[in-house]
Amino acid sequence: MLSRNPLTLHRRSQAGFTLAELVTVAAVMAVLALVSLPVAKFTAKRSKEADLRQALRQMRSAIDEYKRYSDAGLITVDLGTEGYPKKLEVLVEGVEIVGQVDKKLKLLRRIPVDPMTGKDEWGMRSFQDASDATSWGGEDVYDVYSSSQAVGLNGVPYRKW
């Protein structure tokens, strides 16, 4: 039977990683970190874009619903407004329904925040404005858009969404 030397066993248990192994692991981790950084950046931007689409859809649906009520004669319409709300706040504050006492039609709980600018300020177009107008005429609110100057992942500026 071979006898084992206690010093040999002690040296083997203290054996560790070599410098080459540590450098290799560090290099692999650095490459993985560099690859994951752009993915995380695009994921955050994609999430903001989804929030922007949802906010625009919500406000445009509320504007369209207001227009349907005014076309049906359930909301009094001022001349020259074509049945669209005068401002976005009307959709939150509510408007009197014709023929009903103390009954207000509220189409939005609040004006959503533009995820691209972080403010609840939106660009607006009125029905009387030209389709390529960059400023709001002020007559009514026909459409809304982001006031951000940035461009989306699809190459289209947020102002044109």
Question: Which residues in the chain belong to E strands, given as ranges?
Answer: 95-96, 104-105, 123-125, 143-145
Measured CA distances, 67 to 75, 103, 119 (Å): 9, 18, 26
11 in a structural domain? no
Could you tell me if residue 45 is inside a domain? yes
- Is 5 within the bounds of a domain? no
**5-9, 21-25, 114-118, 146-150: least confidently modelled range:** 5-9
> What is the count of structural domains for the chain?
1
Rounded Cα distance, 68 and 97, in Å: 13
Q: Whole-model pTM?
A: 0.73
Please report whether residue 9 resides in a domain: no
Query: In terms of pLDDT, which residue wins out, 3 or 114?
Result: 114
Flag whether 57 is in a domain: yes
pLDDT at 48 over 90: yes
Segments forming the whole domain that contains residue 78: 22-160
Q: Does residue 54 contact residue 108 with C-beta atoms inside 8 Å?
A: no
Q: What is the pLDDT of residue 76?
A: 86
Residue 134 maps to a domain: yes
Q: What is the pLDDT of residue 145?
A: 92
User: What is residue 57's predicted lDDT score, i.e. its pLDDT?
Assistant: 96
Question: What are the beta bridge partners of residue 62?
Answer: none
